[in-house]
Amino acid sequence: MPERDVSIGQLLLTEYQTVKDEQKTRIGFRDNLLYVTLTVVAAVIAAAAQAKQPAMLLALPPVCVVLGWTYLVNDHKISAIGTYIRDDLGPRLARLAGTDKVFDWETAHRTDARRRFRKAVQCFIDLLAFCLVPLAALLVYWVAGEVVSGLLAVSVAEALAVTGLGVQIVAYAGYFGGAGGPAPGGSG
């Protein structure tokens, strides 16, 4: 069987395609998590209202935290892929090609004048979907007048978990000098 020559450039282009495919898959998965969250929220609210059982609203915080965390982790990986392409893979391929830069889109879309505003709005939407809605559900439970001591303890723990997720969403958005990285809802 004859040996085939594979250049470093071919390997880098293959790696680029592989990481872009992963990024594309993660973007689709991440974006669908918002729809799943909205569906779950609507179903739980409808069931609680129909059964006239505010305690059923206690199902929302853990579901929103799990979906929100999964959303955030995927968004972080999407951004990490973009950073890797911009800061590592692209420059190596550009050197091999003898040019200044490659994959211009990886940086060009980041210079949009409205990008910062869109990222702030996306951060608000993420907070609304994954944090404010479950906190509102907890508030409804607390003021409904049917609070049981065991469920009160559960609801307080849920409130802390939701608040922790909110802090992470804002930190990952890069506001207030947090964990850094692009705001959720962006691909780098």
Domain boundaries, the chain: 8-177
Higher local confidence (pLDDT), 6 or 16: 16
What CA–CA distances, in Å, run from 86 to 39, 53, 59, 119?
36, 51, 41, 19
What CA–CA distances, in Å, run from 43 to 30, 39, 127, 172?
20, 6, 20, 29
pLDDT digits (tens, 9 = 90+) for 20-48: 999 999 999 999 999 999 999 999 999 99
Q: Which two tokens stand for residue 5?
A: 């020559």
Query: Would you mind telling me the total number of residues written for the chain in this entry?
Result: 188
Banded model confidence at residue 176, pLDDT cuts 50, 70, 90: low
**What amino acid is encoded at 158 in this protein?**
E
Higher local confidence (pLDDT), 113 or 77: 77
Q: What integer pLDDT is reported at residue 1 of this predicted model?
A: 53
- Mean pLDDT, residues 64-76 taken together: 97
Q: What integer pLDDT is reported at residue 181 of this predicted model?
A: 47
Contacts of residue 61, Cβ cutoff 8 Å, sequence gap at least 6: 134, 135, 137, 138, 155, 158, 159, 161, 162
Task: Measure the CA–CA gap between 152 and 141, rounded to whole angstroms.
Answer: 9
**Considering only CA atoms, which of 172, 185, 168, 160 is closest in space to residue 61?**
160
What CA–CA distances, in Å, run from 31 to 72, 157, 168, 180?
11, 27, 18, 21
Average pLDDT, the chain: 90
What CA–CA distances, in Å, run from 165 to 33, 49, 87?
15, 26, 29
Task: Measure the CA–CA gap between 130 and 69, rounded to whole angstroms.
Answer: 9
